[in-house]
Structure 1
Amino acid sequence: MNSVIAFIVIFGALVFFHELGHFVFAKRAGILCREFAIGMGPKVLAFKRNETQYTLRLLPIGGYVRMAGEDAELMELKPGFRAGLIMGQDEKVEKVVLNNKDRYPDLRVIEVAEADLEKELYIKGYEEGEETLQRFELSEKAVFIEDGVETQIAPWNRQFNSKKLYQRFLTIFAGPAMNFVLAFIVLSIIGMSAGIPVDRAVLGDIVPDDPADQAGLEKGDEVIAISGEEISSWADLTGIVSESPGEELTIDVQRGDESLSFNVTPEERTFEQGEETISQGIIGVYNPRIESPSIFQSIQYGAEQTYFWTVTIFDLLGDLITGQFSIDALAGPVGIYKSTEEVAKAGIYQLMQWGAILSINLGIMNLLPLPALDGGRLLFFGFEALRGKPIDRQKEGMVHFVGFALLMLLMIVVTWNDIQRYFL
């Protein structure tokens, strides 16, 4: 149960911050945001504030901000429609009732002759019993009511595609960017709370009953040499230990004024990397840390770690493209859940770091110039900047549709590999 909660909290936080980036910059650009959703599928919880409906949905596998104009606006009033109008104090139409008109008293029922719901915002029609064509002005926030459901109209100046290129670019780019911001914040908090690791060959905390503890090593011991090989950094120490599972090592340390030697046999741990099983030695020690670092040190640590993991993930992508990294090693939702389950056992700071790495990964994946991803949309904005006019929306939509279908196919393959790896 704890693993399920950890997975939902982490994945929910990643999606929330990603969509929050889109949402904030869309609102700043004046775009009408119809819905801010966390999760996919049926609604579990929903409430509306101002113009936006906020929803929590059943499946924790994504989220979205539904912006006016991204898809074709479905509201229309064709000639011959009968509609009920509710007027505001400024004599502009505030509500247009399409059916069940008997539920609303004091309606002005008209037969529509003409309507413009985007540019000039008006409805022309004939009231019951009248032969004179009348023009009714629409409020910019007028709503349509159909089967009791209210939908706000989207004037052209409130639609996504009406905005300047830089505004649309920032709105889309802000989603992945917020994933990097989230990772930076989390990693900075880890540095501030748990201390900042330093690359010194000094033992930090010792894991009880692990090989180092059983051999008599203590926190603060400075490692001078391992089996005759001089040690000058934490990387040197971990490199030798990890490559020596099951082999007895002689560790020479300086403890205060004493020079001591201990025989330690690293315990063998294995983990899966794609189809390959990797064996690694551990002795149960943590690296030394700067205790109670300053805010500046913590921020610097957060920035350095964000950069490190960004470069590491890009390197892995490069290996995937060149064939050095098998597609079988990719993880889908099932694989991420299983990894989260393992990391959760190691403690809260390891879980927070794992969440930060996933956030960076999500940001990078979304910036890839692939159809249906944020990066694909940014690529089309680049084409628009070069051409001086946007790509035909139907053609762009078809490209994104095909890209989405291929991504779903990849997700199915990766998820099936996860199921085979962990359950079959």
Structure 2
Amino acid sequence: MDVSSFFAMIWDSALIKIVPFLFVLTVIVFFHELGHFLVGRLCGIRVLAFSVGFGPELVGFNDSHGTRWKFCAIPLGGYVKFLGDENVASTPDRAAVEKMDDAERSMAFPAKSVGRRAATVAAGPIANFILAIAIFAGVAYFNGRVVGDPVVAEVRAESPAAEAGVLAGDRIVALDGNPVAYFSDILEYVSTRADVPIAVEVERAGGRVTLQVTPRTVTQTDGFGNEIKGPLMGLVATRESAAFRTEKLSALQSIRYGAEQTWFFTHHTASFIGGIFTGNQGAEQIGGPIRIAGISSQVATLGFSAILILAAQLSISIGLLNLVPIPMLDGGHLLFYAFEALRGRPLSEKVQEVGFRIGIVLVLSLMLFAVWNDITWLT
């Protein structure tokens, strides 16, 4: 292989990994910041800049309201900067606001009521959830929904289901009293219930039997060779037993399905985050940009719909992460506003400054930890 062919191979490999990653991240960041932007404008706040990415500006333009829209060189996030913000983290510049005339001050973010500020901040994560609903609904509407009957073709040996007495040929009709329509309902219900006993009602030989099954966390390998930890009962369905098929959904059914999937992944992600703090989940599963880029390139091989679904799942994760009450994140701002609403006045600038510094340390520590996990994942 000559030198030009070698560099061409490297370039092609980089594009395969980077392009899906940039697409997914740009869509998520754009909609998150668009939530802040639209509600901020609705609340009468002047927007100085809308940026996808950080660092030097690559391309941009000014709209008729004086907002600078731009793409920047480091595509790992974005921001909306309002009038009265000291920096892109929306730290209030109260000294600058005091020097403004009445007309300017009326459009400054720090001068708005706590309700309007809270609504503007919360709009970013909410936009992430709305984006997820729209993606799940759109993919389901155009592609249909693949479903299969909850009929067991095989029970893994020495699995929780085998130990509880579940048999091949059983039809799962309810879990803890909740009706089961499709095999995917079983997977979704079990996914957040590691080591939690589940009352499994099965239909067998014309009658019904209720069995207690306690899912165990196991490590599996997906189709790309990635290790995934999660709770399983040990049930297997085949195309023949479950009669897998594609169901077409109406527009209304698709929206409902999108909302259900968004709630499921929100609950699943929140349970995972909680599990890390309780020790039920391994922190090594936290991934950063390198792992997201790798997974994006893998998922892209499955088609455009698959990369959209990944974008929806990551949008939910970013929405939840931003709601964590750490200063510098949206949740931290909302925490400060909650104290302000209770006290009737903002926290002192010194307290907020200390809070933001702690927030920066925590966020940077999380980023470094995620990158370290990424490096470990690569090796």
TM-score, normalised with respect to structure 1? 0.64
Contact 2:222–2:228 (CA<8 Å) still a contact in 1? no
> What per-residue deviation string (whole Å, max 9, x for no partner) do you get for residues 83-134 of structure 1?
xxxxxxxxxxxxxxxxxxxxxxxxxxxxxxxxx95136xxxxxxxxxxxxxx
Q: What is the aligned partner in structure 2 of residue 171 from structure 1?
A: 120
Q: Hey, what's the Cα distance between the residues in 2 that align with 1:380 and 1:287?
A: 53
Pair 1:23 & 2:37 matched: yes
Q: What is the aligned partner in structure 1 of residue 23 from structure 2?
A: 9
User: 1:190-269 alignment to 2 at 5 Å?
Assistant: 190-201=139-150, 228-231=168-171, 234-235=182-183
More helix per residue: 2
Higher relative contact order (CA 8 A, sep 6+): 2
Contact 1:26–1:171 (CA<8 Å) still a contact in 2? yes
Q: Hey, what's the Cα distance between the residues in 1 that align with 2:117 and 2:43?
A: 8
Determine what percentage of the aligned residue pairs are the same residue.
31
Q: 1:228 offset after TM fit, Å?
A: 4.5
Q: Hey, what's the Cα distance between the residues in 1 that align with 2:168 and 2:34?
A: 55
Q: What is the aligned partner in structure 1 of residue 357 from structure 2?
A: 401
Q: What is the aligned partner in structure 1 of residue 299 from structure 2?
A: 343
Q: 1:190 offset after TM fit, Å?
A: 1.0
Q: What is the aligned partner in structure 1 of residue 320 from structure 2?
A: 364
Q: Hey, what's the Cα distance between the residues in 1 that align with 2:139 and 2:235?
A: 26
Q: 1:399 offset after TM fit, Å?
A: 0.7
User: 1:303-314 alignment to 2 at 5 Å?
Assistant: 303-314=259-270
Q: Hey, what's the Cα distance between the residues in 2 that align with 1:235 and 1:197?
A: 10
Q: Hey, what's the Cα distance between the residues in 1 that align with 2:184 and 2:360?
A: 45
> What per-residue deviation string (whole Å, max 9, x for no partner) do you get for residues 349-395 of structure 1?
22211110100111011011112110011011100111011111332
Q: 1:281 offset after TM fit, Å?
A: 8.3
Contact 1:195–1:289 (CA<8 Å) still a contact in 2? no
The unaligned stretches of length 5 or more in structure 2 are: 1-14, 87-92, 152-165, 173-180, 188-220
> What per-residue deviation string (whole Å, max 9, x for no partner) do you get for residues 297-355 of structure 1?
11111111111111111111111110111222110111111111221122222221111
Q: Hey, what's the Cα distance between the residues in 1 that align with 2:282 and 2:267?
A: 19
Contact 1:31–1:160 (CA<8 Å) still a contact in 2? yes
Q: What is the aligned partner in structure 1 of residue 255 from structure 2?
A: 299
Which of residues 269, 273, 285 is equivalent to 2:228?
Answer: 273
Q: Hey, what's the Cα distance between the residues in 1 that align with 2:273 and 2:167?
A: 37
Contact 1:196–1:301 (CA<8 Å) still a contact in 2? no
Which of residues 38, 44, 55 is equivalent to 2:70?
Answer: 55
Pair 1:161 & 2:110 matched: yes
Pair 1:118 & 2:103 matched: no
Q: Hey, what's the Cα distance between the residues in 1 that align with 2:185 and 2:245?
A: 15
Larger radius of gyration: 1
Give the letter for the 2:77 counterpart: G
Q: Hey, what's the Cα distance between the residues in 2 that align with 1:418 and 1:372?
A: 24
Q: Hey, what's the Cα distance between the residues in 1 that align with 2:377 and 2:237?
A: 25
Q: What is the aligned partner in structure 2 of residue 185 from structure 1?
A: 134
Local SS of the residue matching 2:56: strand
How large is the Cα RMSD of the aligned pairs?
A: 3.2
Q: Hey, what's the Cα distance between the residues in 2 that align with 1:63 and 1:405?
A: 19
TM-score, normalised with respect to structure 2? 0.71
Q: Hey, what's the Cα distance between the residues in 2 that align with 1:193 and 1:236?
A: 20
Alpha-carbon spacing, 1:392–1:348, altered in 2? closer, same or farther (3 Å): same
Alpha-carbon spacing, 1:282–1:8, altered in 2? closer, same or farther (3 Å): farther
Local SS of the residue matching 1:36: strand
More strand per residue: 1
Q: 1:238 offset after TM fit, Å?
A: 8.9
